[in-house]
Amino acid sequence: MNGVPRPVGLVSVVMPARNAETTLAAQLEALCAQTYPDPWEVVVVENGSGDGTRALLRRWQRRMPRLRVAVTEEPGVNRARNLGCRRADGEFVLLCDADDVAAPGWVAGLVDALRSSPAVGGALERRLLNGPVALAARPPKKSPALLDTFGFLPYPAGANCGFHKELWSRLGGFDESYRGGGDDTEFFWRAQLAGYRLAFAPHAVVHYRHRGDTRSIVRQSYGYGRSHPKLYRDFAAHGMPCSRPGDAAGAWWALLRRSVDLLGPADRRAALLAQLALRAGRAVGSARHRRCYL
């Protein structure tokens, strides 16, 4: 059997969807165009939407027989992911988001990587769906890779990842106390600390959509910042390094020196406000979780 890929049973794609009426159809179209030839299903978890997401899903169920819908009224992306994983019948679970677009080889790329690794992350392509303001606030990396924001352990984005369902079960699922940031990071760090190997699947590509307007960019960046001290609280004992006060002071000083950008073009203004919101979120999170991570 050397060199022969082991057979895979059913594969489940789990996708949380909250107020996704304007973007969800494009992602479902992309899933319909996947090249993966073996059996797989889609479980969309409608997560307390106030728009037409649920009605759109009912229409798509008539068109897409392998689409199943679960509902949880209480918002929370990890709550939705856990419900989707519980409902999933697949041996492998793949996660994507309702506002992105999976490339045709996405399912095949993640499944291929999952044949030899219990947890994987794919590549995020950030230019196709985003304008200059969004790209200025969150510049793309020069080359695709797993994320490594904290100098600790790598992790994939929840918008493009997969794992053996057995792993999810053994870890007790996603931590539903994480909201607005850290939700995917925490799970994959915990998996690696439990001895599970994480791999990168470069051919599993998702076209990733950033927040497009400055208000949404700022809100998201603030949420990310608030989650960082919580991650530090939970993982400092495992080796996550603390942010150094000198670095934080230098970052604030650099941001203050760029304050003229508040009067400049929209892309420069969004980039500055995103960084200010992140730092402000870290300060608030540090106070809330009683762990200094600035």
C-beta atoms surrounding 29 within 10 Å: 14
204 vs 120: CA distance, rounded Å: 10
- In this prediction, residues 207-214 reach a mean pLDDT of 95
Give the tens place of pLDDT for each residue, 266-277: 999 999 999 999
- The count of residues in the chain is 294
Provide the CA 233 distance to its chain's centre, in angstroms: 21
Contact 47, 75 (CB under 8 A): yes
pLDDT score of 5 = 57
Q: Is the pTM of this model over 0.75?
A: yes
Whether the pLDDT of residue 210 is over 90: the answer is yes
Report the C-alpha gap between 82 and 101 in whole angstroms. Answer: 22
- What tokens does 167 get? 């792993």
Q: Are 196 and 153 a contacting pair, CB within 8 Å? A: no
Over 90: is that where the pLDDT of 247 sits? no
β-bridge mates for residue 95, sequence order: 14, 161
Closest listed residue to residue 216, CA positions, set 137, 279, 286: 137
What's at 9, amino acid-wise?
A: G
Q: How many CA atoms lie within 13 A of 166 on its CB side?
A: 5
Inform me whether the pLDDT recorded for 194 exceeds 80. yes
60-95 pLDDT, tens digit each: 999 998 999 999 989 999 999 999 999 999 999 999
Collapsed DSSP state (helix, strand, coil) of residue 31: helix
